Amino acid sequence: MDLKTMTYLVVGATFALYMFIAFRARAGTTGEFYVAGKGVHPVLNGMATGADWMSAASFISMAGLIAFKGYDASVFLMGWTGGYCLLAMLLAPYLRKYGKFTVPEFIGDRYYSNTARVVAVICLIVASLTYVIGQMKGVGVAFSRFLELPYEVGLGVGMVIVFIYAVLGGMKGVTYTQIAQYCVLIFAYTVPAVFISLQLTDNPLPQLGLGAQLNDGSGMFLLEKLDKTLVDLGFTQ
């Protein structure tokens, strides 16, 4: 079996798994569609949120931005991550406590103002469009590179698949699908990092290996080597 056929099979099986999970966890009530019935365990919810963070907008767009703009662009990474934490601490608990399904609904009732509700809607639309544009761009790029498909075709396939399990399962289906994606992403991130760290520094923990010296006797640190490699490739430091 050649590499291209194997790639199609693996990606197809992954998408089939996601749609199967969405079908099995499909929403049966309005509460399940909007808030997954409020029955998702906090650990599982955290896994779903983590998968949402480790998305195309993160590992493609954010990585590319930092690579081309240098360390100064890491401020976007801090804002990206910090925004998640702020929303989780300052908004999500109260949204659940108030029993509302949407942020504009909560903001309008909380501040007794339709104007605040409209402002929340505008902010939500702007943020969502910005995020979706990055996600869809990442989907198109990923398909076009790995599956050797035209960008437009890859984008269309990705949109159809997301539409199927989002509409079919609602928030409940999306949450459990995201949990499956989290397992795939963590495995894909961790295994290469562990083996690269082990091969270059004899340390199986990437967090420690990043600050360790290379095992080739040069005395150079791994982080220094990675920085030099990026500069040699033409990226900004």
Residue 70 φ/ψ region, left for φ over 0, alpha for ψ in the -120 to 50 degree band, beta for the rest? left
Distance, CA of 127 to CA of 121 (rounded, Å): 10
Q: Are 222 and 212 in contact (CB under 8 A)?
A: yes
Distance, CA of 64 to CA of 103 (rounded, Å): 31
Dihedral, CA of residue 106, residue 111, residue 115 and residue 119, to nearest 10: -50
Residue 156, pLDDT above cutoff 70: yes
Residues 104-121 have a mean pLDDT of 87
pLDDT (tens digit, 9 = 90+) per residue, 26-66?
A: 777 777 777 777 778 888 888 888 887 777 767 777 777 77
pTM: 0.75
Q: Are 219 and 201 in contact (CB under 8 A)?
A: no
| pLDDT score at 124 | 86
- Per-residue pLDDT band at 115 (split at 50, 70, 90): very high
Residues 124-142 have a mean pLDDT of 81
Contacts of residue 182, defined as CB under 8 A and 6 or more positions apart, other chains included, come to 47, 48, 50, 51, 54
pLDDT (tens digit, 9 = 90+) per residue, 74-100?
A: 777 777 778 778 877 887 777 777 777
Distance, CA of 217 to CA of 236 (rounded, Å): 27
Residue 17, pLDDT above cutoff 80: yes
Q: Give the CA radius of gyration of the chain.
A: 21
Distance, CA of 171 to CA of 9 (rounded, Å): 28
Sign of the CA dihedral running 231, 234, 235, 236: positive
Distance, CA of 129 to CA of 149 (rounded, Å): 25
Distance, CA of 126 to CA of 116 (rounded, Å): 15
pLDDT (tens digit, 9 = 90+) per residue, 170-224?
A: 788 888 888 888 888 888 888 988 998 888 888 888 888 888 888 887 888 888 8
Residues 147-151 have a mean pLDDT of 78
Q: Are 78 and 159 in contact (CB under 8 A)?
A: no
Residue 213 pairs in a beta bridge with: 221
